[in-house]
Every structure is written in C-alpha cells, then in structure tokens.
Structure 1
Amino acid sequence: MDPASPARNPEGSEPGGDIRALTGFAACGGGRIDASSAPAFVMHRPLAPRVPVLLSVPHAGRAYPRAVLDAMGDPAAVSAVLEDRLADRLAERVAIATGAGVIMARAPRAMIDLNRDPADLDWSLVADPSPARFHPAPVSRRAQTGLGVIPSRAASVGSIWRRTLPISEYHRRVEDIHAPYQAALSQHLAALCEHWGCALLIDLHSMPPLRPQAGRGSTPRFVIGDRFGRSCAAHLSATALRVLGRHQAVAHNLPYAGGYILDRQAAPRHGIHAVQVEVCRSLYLDQSLRELGTGADSVVRALEQLVLGLASALIASKDAPPSWTHAAAAE
C-alpha cells in the first residue's frame, strides 16, 4: 500500500495492501475496510487441497484507517490488548506446511469484532438517540463490559473511543467487513464439504498468559473450545487435546469455549465441524509481546500436527456411525 493510503498500523507493521499469494496457493481479497481499496480480509486457497481444513484468523488484522486511529484515545495500547498479535503469521506457515486453506482479517478488531454477533452492540457508542428502532434486542453482558461487535472498552485501557460512531458507519462495517467474512467462511467450508464429504474450521486466536490456579495443575498454554460439545464431534476435541497436550498444558472450553464464528459456521450433523484454538502469546512472541520470538517455531509445529491430526481423524470418521465417534473420544 502506498504512503498516501488511509490505512496504517499504530506500531509500524505492514497494514495489508497488496495481496501476495502463499506458495502453492491462490489468493484473493474480500470485503472493504473503508473507502480505500484495502480488502477487509484475505483468503488463501490451496492449489492442490490436501486436507479438509480451513484456518480462520479473525483478530490479527492491523490495517487501521486514519479516521479510526484519530477516534481512539490510545491506539498503541488498544491494539496491544485487542489484537491477536501476529497470529496470522503462524497461520500462514501452518497453511503452507499442511495444505489447509486460510482466511485472515486485515480489518482490526477495534473496528469490528468478527467473532461477535453483528447485533451485539453497546449502543452508547452510536450517535443516535433512538438505537432501539434499529435493533430492539437487549445488549449482552459481554457488550455491556466493552467487548461487543464494536469494542468500547479494553482491559487496562478503559474507554477506547474519543467520540461516538454514526449509525451509518456501524451498518457499513457490518455490511463491508463482517458479513463478507462470514460468507467467505461459509462458502469455503461448503466447498470443502462437497469435495471431501466433511470439513473442519479451526478458528485461531491468541490469549494473554492465564493466571495459575491452585489445585489445577499446570497453567494452560493452549485452550480448545468447542462450545461445550456443540460445534464438533467429541472425538475431534479429544484429538485436539491429545495432540496439543504433547507440547504444552491444554484446557478444554475454560476460559474460552469459542464464540460467534463457531455458532454461525459449525454444523456437525451436516459434516461441518469447528473448533477454536487459543495460543498463549508468551509461547510465540518475544518479551515485548510485539514481535515473533524464539518459541514461534515450536508453536507452528504443534499447530501443524494439530491440523494433520484432526484432518486424519475427521476423514477416518466421516462415514462411521455416531457410536464410532463417541467411542473414539473415550479411547
């Protein structure tokens, strides 16, 4: 992207302009961040698909329009809290190694959270005296605490925005960023299911280090979320826990069980499964938590094994009766 582009990064990393395909992949952009030509996300499709797996990275986008930065109280602090810092770099390497497709947001989470229901908004953000006429649904507790579809507050930062948002801009972000991302996920998963007879979405996130809890053993460095069993077959969650457990302590659904993307995309009865994977940032970032660290290679290897292990388990079980999948989970 040229220097005159309206999008930039508060910490100087690449904002995401030109689309360069990963080796062995075809790439295309989708959605629209703002009035510029910058895509809201990028999809890399393998030229020769090897696994029925799609990786999703919804929270690593860092192409901040100038208007968004100007509306923020402290852009650097907000980005450090809200971004899944450089999780897209991990996903790219995993995709190349395994042949999984990957879709990665370039629009930042501060603009719109792709893992939230588009109607789950803190209406105090909107510069309109009667938001109820646009959407009468009650505001969720998550949105009330600042983490709705457009975040309003961030831990250790407080209020994110200097001013309210026009209702038209809220609708534009839903229509130009959120809806196209969800549609791209659905279309790619449907194509995988048609080709393989099954499909798996791995929604990749990063998390701050969890606090040790007395009596609970090692502090988890990975968390597998499956919406408490609703988003994938039990044996797939068991496989994920087993594979990642060979590398680091891993938890299941606590404190992260997955969000809107899993609810929207998963359809296990129709062969489309989905899991959320949280990776502790201290595992793959340096001490500043801004750049990739020496542990990134180990995390990539663990995620490669996860993709291949889940793909094998999914393909092996897609024609098996339900009793087989439950038995496999108990092994």
Structure 2
Amino acid sequence: MKPVEVSRGDGPIVLGIPHSGTWLPGHIKAQLNDRGRTLADTDWHIDRLYHGLLPGATTVRATFHRYVIDANRSPKNESLYPGQNTTSLVPVTDFDGRPIWSTAPDAAEVAARRAAFHTPYHTALEVELKRVQKRHGVAILYDCHSIRSQIPYLFDGKLPDFNIGTASSSSCDERLEDLVQSICKATGGTTATNGRFKGGWATRHYGRPLHGIHAIQMELAQSTYLENEAPPFTYDELKSAHLRSLLAEILGRIASLAPELGR
C-alpha cells in the first residue's frame, strides 16, 4: 500500500487528513501490544465524514496509522505543547498515557519510518499546496482531525465540539479564522479557538499567510458524529448528516473567501 493517497481538484482548498489511516505494515503490527492494536487514537471515519463535501477540493490522506509515525508531528520530534502531556513523532503511549508497544522502535527504526511514511506524506502535501497556489494565487490548507471528547491524560473536562487551531492566529488571515469560528458558534455547539488544540505541525509549518498559504486545523470532538467513542467507534449516520451539512457550509464559504485572500 502507498503511504499517501492524493485526489486532485481544481479549487483553492487542500484537505489534509493525516490521522484516519489504519494501515500497519506487518512487522510494525507485530511490535504493538494488545492495547496498541486497538488503534484507539485513530481519527475514526474522518475521510468518510469529509468525502464529497466540496467539489474541486484536493485531498491528501495518509493511509498509515499514526502509531507507525505521526504525520502531524515535527520530523525533529519537537513537542507541539511543551510542558503538557502529548504524544511524540512515533508515539510510545496512547492518548491515555498507556504503553502501546511490546517492542518499542529504536532511533534507527524511527528514522526509517520517517523516510518511508512521514516524508512522502509531506512531500505530497507540499506539492499540492504549491500547485493550488500557482493556479489561484492562494492555497488554503484545511487540516481535518477528530479526537475523543474526554481524555484526562491530555486535557481536563470535556472537549468542545469544534476546536479551531491557527497557531495562535498566525497560520492564516484573521478573516479566515473569524469566518470558521462564527459558523461554528452559530450552530449552538461548543467552540474553542486556539484552546487545547492550536494546530499541529502541518498547520504551523505550512501556514504562511504573507506568502499566500493559509492553514487552519479543525479538531472535532468524536461525540459529534460517532455513536460512541469506544470500540467499535461506529459512524452515526444521523449525527454525521447534520455535521456534514455544517462542514460543507464551512468549506464552501472558505472557498468563496479565497479570492479575497489572494489579493
């Protein structure tokens, strides 16, 4: 299996999907313990949730699981949230702080995984962002994520429904941030901007609004579209239909805003 799938569109938006993949190469799967093999930290069904919402959108999706290597972490393994609990480039624990490996990968294996999986994903993402920017004068990376709404190891209490990350308002034009925030707030659902989630490495790395590339991360609480947030992490058709309508509005209005951002 290829580490990345790309679906090219002719519009100004690139959807990044780094964490919905569940592929584990056999030798890596064999190194995981029973807890690790549940793949609990997957962004379950996010590719399905966003599929077909915006005609013309380009999608770049990692097929491998984040336990292989996390495509939304710095290749240098620098912490996104210094001083807070988080997971590393190749996670050694799950989101509950529990070990996931029977045989943890050493530095040489981490380097090999970075070359085989992390680099191809970001090479593809960069190629598409540059292609889109050349066509439109601007490119917008909308990074698609989800997470369980309650994970005491990572954050206190219950996570808001919509968690918008723009690297403390530095990764995109403020009009883009304000637009997404206003749509989410209008739903009556709970919303946070640059709260516990400020955007991962992709948002921070690619978001250069002064150079025509804008990046925003949407971290959805999985309670907004799953029947439950435990195995088997079943997709809820009714919840998802409502959420897809909202996400389609967000993406459509971002696309409409793109020409103004390119001026």
2:107 to 164, 167, 187: 167
The whole-number CA distance in structure 2 between the counterparts of 1:156 and 1:110 is: 14
Number of residue equivalences: 253
1:311 aligns with 2:252: no
* Greater C-alpha radius of gyration: 1
Q: Which has the higher contact order (CA 8 A, sep 6+)?
A: 2
After TM superposition, the score normalised by the length of structure 1 is 0.71
> 271-280 or 219-228, which moves further after superposition?
219-228
Deviates more, 1:195-204 or 1:64-73: 64-73
What does residue 127 of structure 2 align with? 187
1:222-281 Cα offsets, whole Å, 9 max, x none, are: 011100011001111000111222322221011100011112211111110000001110
Question: Kindly tell me: are residues 114 and 308 of structure 1, through their superposed partners in 2, closer, same or farther at Cα, counting changes over 3 Å?
Answer: same
The alignment's TM-score, normalised by the length of structure 2, stands at 0.88
Q: Tell me, in whole angstroms, the C-alpha distance in 2 between the residues paired with 1:226 and 1:98.
A: 24
Whole-angstrom CA distance in 1 between matches of 2:14 and 2:136: 13
8 Å CA contact 1:54–1:200 kept in 2: the answer is yes
1:288: how far off?
5.3
Query: Following the alignment from structure 2 to structure 1, what is the Cα–Cα distance between the partners of residues 73 and 83?
Result: 9
Distance 2:229 2:176 in 1: 34
Do 1:110 and 1:151's aligned partners in 2 also have CA atoms closer than 8 Å? yes
Once superposed, which parts of structure 1, at least 4 consecutive aligned residues long, lie more than 3 Å away? Answer: 75-78, 139-146
Q: Secondary structure at the match of 1:239?
A: helix
Answer yes or no: is the 8 Å Cα contact 1:146–1:153 preserved in 2: no
In structure 2, relative to structure 1, the CA distance for the partners of 1:219 and 1:57 (3 Å cut) is closer
* Cα deviation 1:163-211 (Å, max 9, x = unaligned): 1324332112111111111111111111111111111000010022259
Evaluate the alpha carbon distance shift between residue 147 and residue 295 of structure 1 in structure 2; reply closer, same or farther with a 3 A threshold: same
Deviations 1:106-142 (A, max 9, x none): 1100010011111217xxxxxxxxxxxxxxxxx7876
Aligned to 1:120: 77
The alpha-carbon distance between structure 1 residues 271 and 250, as it changes in their structure 2 partners (threshold 3 A), is same
Q: Following the alignment from structure 1 to structure 2, what is the Cα–Cα distance between the partners of residues 55 and 140?
A: 21
Which consecutive unaligned segments of at least 5 residues does structure 1 have? 1-37, 122-138, 212-217, 320-331
Structure 2 equivalent of residue 300 of structure 1: 244
Is the CA contact 2:80–2:201 (under 8 Å) kept in the aligned structure 1? no
- Quote the residue 2:15 is aligned against: 55
Asked if the contact 1:57–1:91 (Cα under 8 Å) also holds between the matched residues in 2, the reply is no
Secondary structure at 2:195's aligned position in 1?
coil
Query: What is the aligned partner in structure 1 of residue 52 from structure 2?
Result: 93
Looking at structure 2, the residues matched to 142 and 173 of structure 1 have their Cα atoms a distance apart, in angstroms, of 24
Q: Which secondary structure does the structure 2 equivalent of 1:93 belong to? A: coil
CA distance in 1, matches of 2:150, 2:96: 16
Residue 156 of structure 1 and its aligned partner are, at CA, apart by 3.4
For the 8 Å contact 2:163–2:218, the answer to whether it is kept is yes
Separation in 2, partners of 1:271, 1:255: 27
Cα distance, 1:305 vs structure 2: 0.8
Matching of residues 165-314 of structure 1 within 5 Å: 165-209=105-149, 220-247=160-187, 248-287=189-228, 289=230, 290-293=233-236, 294-314=238-258
Partner of 2:68: 111
The CA deviation string for residues 29-67 of structure 1, in whole angstroms up to 9 with x for no partner, is xxxxxxxxx111101112xx2x30000110111012222
Which of 78, 92, 96 is equivalent to 1:152?
Answer: 92
Contact residue 60 and residue 88 of structure 1 kept, 8 A: yes
Q: Is the 8 A contact 1:243 1:309 kept in 2?
A: no
Q: Which residue is 1:83 aligned to?
A: 42
1:56 aligned counterpart, secondary structure: strand
CA RMSD, Structure 1 to Structure 2 (Å): 2.3
State the 1:70 CA deviation. Answer: 1.9
Alignment check: 8 A CA contact 1:145 1:153 kept: no
